[in-house]
Amino acid sequence: MSLSPGHRGPSPAHKPTALDQALRAIRPAFIAVIVFSFFINLLGLNGSIYMMQVYDRVLSSRSIETLILLTLITAFLYMVWSALEALRARVLERAGFAFDAQVHVPVFDAIQRTAVRDRSSGQTQTLRDLDTVRDFFAGPALTALCDLPWMPIYAICATLLHPYYGYLALGSALLSGALAVLNNRATQASLAASTRSSITASTLATATLRNAEVLQAMGMAPELRRRWGAMREQALGWQGQAGDRSSILVALTKFNRALVQSVVLGLGAYLAIHKEISPGMIIAGSILVGRCIQPIELAVSNWKSVVNVHAAHGRIQQLLAGAPEPGRRLRLPDPRGEISVENLFVRAPGRDVPVLRNVSFRLPAGTGLGIVGPTAAGKSSLARALVGVWPAVSGCVRLDGSELGHWDEDQLGRCIGYLPQDVELFSGTIAENIARFGEANDAEVVAAARLAGVHDLIQHMPQGYNTQIGEGGVALSGGQRQRIGLARAVFGLPAFIVLDEPNSSLDPPGELALAEALRLLKAAERTVVIVTHRPAALSQCDLILAIADGAPQAFGPREDMLKRMTGGPPPTGQPGQPTGAAMGHTGPQPAPQALRPRPPLASVPLGVAPADAPPNMPPAPRPPAMEDGHAVS
């Protein structure tokens, strides 16, 4: 079953989404509701039959026994009718719960996959759309739609009383139906525009309030509030326009029903005067004709709900179709950490130009790689591509010889550690964040904290590992968030760990803890990639990759790369560590000539220095050969 009008089932080329499957799963409930609706509408004739018997039999015979018996029978039938109404409502409500239980996980996963490509907060609208569809099942609009197909029952019964009743019922039903169609056409565009503006306003409000400190400190709140208010007013304007048009048509529908109820009484009196119907049929005809119009009137008055659920259904379908489930992946042997990047091209979400171009290198298991370069060189983009956050446009990243897309997502997640540049923690305890909100024993959490050098820091907090950090880690400082994020990255000692600017917010003790963590990871033969501007983080690296403008500039053993980037031997007292300018810092000193943008490695013959290289710069090294897990030049 689909909520889309005119839906004829999936075409051969259309793979059913999770929404289609969920609606198909609750189809038996809808079949039961249709059966209940038949008997409910059949029992709706109870009132008209009772009135006919009272007027035509009881009044003429003056039999109290007959009146009592008819009343008891009518009361029993009304009890059955009420029970079926309650049962139908409960079935629809349970169908909504079953629908939500089956589809909320695929929708959440699709939102997560979409959010990786698009960091806007508009995806959460789909969660509200899911609530809209679920609530529609238990709402009055669906009940009215269930009663619509049984209108012919009342029209046929009215015709049996007298053909004129049938004509009147048919004419009033057609008029009400025409008003319903006009209501849809008159309000559909306005309601759609109102929904779009409301979603935009909600997205802006969410993004604005997420940075409330900046708004308060820099006085930005009035201007952003004005922008939000303008979008909200636009949404309310479209909604008001739709409401104005709808109110007129709803009023015409009610006028039609009220007029017909009066006309049917007058028609009944006319027919009774001419002895064509009995007096009891006057009341019965009025009830039957009114029942013909009532479902249409209810459908028109609840038409906004129908339009909203149709739009919500379409947005959910669009999301699920645009972010399909990856499907089951064969579980591979746990990786050792060998990384191979092959002719990698990557585009950032929403951009057409690649931010990474022709990146290729190989890291044996247990190797440490430092990625350096100026600001906006593509370092963080490469980090995201290495962990599979940003998919490759062409080329690939392989872990132990298998592309990242070939791994089971859950298995891959446990085998990868990732510390992004902007550390995001989640509402919960410190222990839960370190354990990635999975099931873990206390020893594993403490081991990860000790490895990251954050155990003592946590123990000095009010409740230790049970300290609630608040939404986004608001209760922690930037350095604390970064160190706890490092503990989360190394939790379970994954085979491959990517750290993006892991020391950007650290104080000297934090830097020492990070250096010790890197030493321990290297001793444990874990493959570690570090994106950094600071020299200290490179002490445990075997290789260094320099990139600029999204393209690799040089790649080789650490000592050779440090000499190349500084244009000479390492500074005295800090062997193996480049200067700040070599890391892309812009200080008083000029940047070394060795870091001027060069052609990508693909355009520079390996082992030959570029034409603009300074005289004291050695030739660009070939990608190093590996022996026993270590690079040799």
- Sequence-distant (6+) residues with CB within 8 A of 538 are 370, 372, 530, 532, 544, 558, 562, 576, 577, 578
- Other Cβ atoms within 10 Å of 491 Cβ, number: 23
What's the rounded Cα separation, in Å, for the pair 407 and 414? 11
Confidence label for 598 from pLDDT (cuts 50, 70 and 90): very low
Average pLDDT, the chain: 79
- Other Cβ atoms within 10 Å of 163 Cβ, number: 11
Per DSSP, 58 falls in state: I
What's the rounded Cα separation, in Å, for the pair 442 and 449? 11
Q: Would you state the pLDDT for residue 122?
A: 56
On the CB side of 448, CA atoms within 13 Å amount to: 26
- Distances 446 to 17, 53, 431 between C-alpha atoms, Å: 42, 82, 8
Q: Would you state the pLDDT for residue 58?
A: 86
Tokens of 158: 């009215």
Lowest mean pLDDT among 131-140, 261-270, 320-329: 320-329
Lowest mean pLDDT among 393-402, 532-541, 592-601: 592-601
Q: What is the pLDDT of residues 477-496, one digit of tens each?
A: 888 888 899 999 999 899 99
Does the pLDDT at position 217 exceed 50? yes
Instruction: Count Cβ neighbours within 10 Å for each residue of 296-315 and write b for 16 or more, e otherwise.
Output: bbbbbbbbbbbbbbbbbbeb
Confidence label for 565 from pLDDT (cuts 50, 70 and 90): low
Q: Would you state the pLDDT for residue 210?
A: 67
- Other Cβ atoms within 10 Å of 240 Cβ, number: 13
Per DSSP, 386 falls in state: H
3-state secondary structure of 392: strand
Does the pLDDT at position 625 exceed 60? no
Helix H, strand E, coil C: the string for 365-378 is CCCEEEEECCCCCC
Q: Mind giving me the DSSP string for 402-420?
A: EEGGGS-HHHHHHHEEEE-
Confidence label for 334 from pLDDT (cuts 50, 70 and 90): confident
Confidence label for 45 from pLDDT (cuts 50, 70 and 90): confident
**Within 472-593, where are the H helices?**
478-490, 508-523, 558-566
- Sequence-distant (6+) residues with CB within 8 A of 44 are 81, 154, 291
Ordered domains of the chain (ranges, CATH)? 18-322 (1.20.1560.10), 339-421+495-585+592-632 (3.40.50.300)
Nearest Cα to Cα of residue 165 among 300, 55, 255, 52: 52
Q: What is the pLDDT of residues 435-453, one digit of tens each?
A: 998 888 889 999 999 998 8
Show the CA angle centred on residue 387, arms to residues 556 and 515, nearest 5°.
60
Q: Mind giving me the DSSP string for 152-190?
A: HHHHHHHHHH-HHHHHHHHHHHHHHHHHHHHHHHHHHHH
What's the rounded Cα separation, in Å, for the pair 515 and 222? 45
Q: What is the pLDDT of residues 364-389, one digit of tens each?
A: 999 999 999 888 888 989 999 999 88
Which of 147-151, 341-345, 468-472 shows the highest mean pLDDT? 341-345
Does the pLDDT at position 88 exceed 70? yes
Per DSSP, 604 falls in state: S
Percentage of residues in the chain with pLDDT exceeding 70? 84
pTM above 0.85, yes or no: no
Confidence label for 575 from pLDDT (cuts 50, 70 and 90): very low
| Helix then strand then coil, % of the chain, to nearest 5 | 60, 10, 30
Give the pLDDT mean for 60-81. 91
Q: Would you state the pLDDT for residue 488?
A: 92
- Sequence-distant (6+) residues with CB within 8 A of 11 are none
Q: Would you state the pLDDT for residue 581?
A: 36
Nearest Cα to Cα of residue 281 among 290, 270, 268: 268
Query: Does residue 530 contact residue 369 with C-beta atoms inside 8 Å?
Result: yes
Q: At what angle do helices 27-43 and 64-117 cross, to 10 degrees?
A: 150
Q: Would you state the pLDDT for residue 504?
A: 82
Is the model more confident about 631 or about 292?
A: 292
Positive or negative, the CA dihedral 219, 225, 227, 230 is negative
Does the pLDDT at position 79 exceed 90? yes
Q: Would you state the pLDDT for residue 498?
A: 93
Nearest Cα to Cα of residue 228 among 197, 184, 258, 257: 197
- Sequence-distant (6+) residues with CB within 8 A of 33 are 88, 91, 92, 95, 146
Round the CA-based radius of gyration of the chain to a whole number and report it: 36
Q: What is the pLDDT of residues 245-296, one digit of tens each?
A: 777 777 887 788 788 888 888 988 888 888 888 888 888 888 888 888 888 7
Q: Would you state the pLDDT for residue 568?
A: 53
Lowest mean pLDDT among 124-133, 159-168, 323-332: 323-332
Q: Would you state the pLDDT for residue 184?
A: 74
The pair phi, psi for residue 335, each rounded to 5°, is: -75, 155
Q: Would you state the pLDDT for residue 630?
A: 40
User: Which residue, chain included where needed, has tokens 């799963």?
Assistant: 25
Give the pLDDT mean for 589-595. 32
Q: Would you state the pLDDT for residue 189?
A: 79
What's the rounded Cα separation, in Å, for the pair 251 and 213? 49
Does the pLDDT at position 198 exceed 90? no
Q: What is the pLDDT of residues 139-179, one digit of tens each?
A: 888 888 888 888 888 888 888 888 998 888 888 888 877 87
Q: Would you state the pLDDT for residue 386?
A: 92
Nearest Cα to Cα of residue 148 among 306, 314, 28: 306
Q: Report the DSSP beta bridge partners of residue 354.
A: 347
Q: Would you state the pLDDT for residue 627?
A: 39
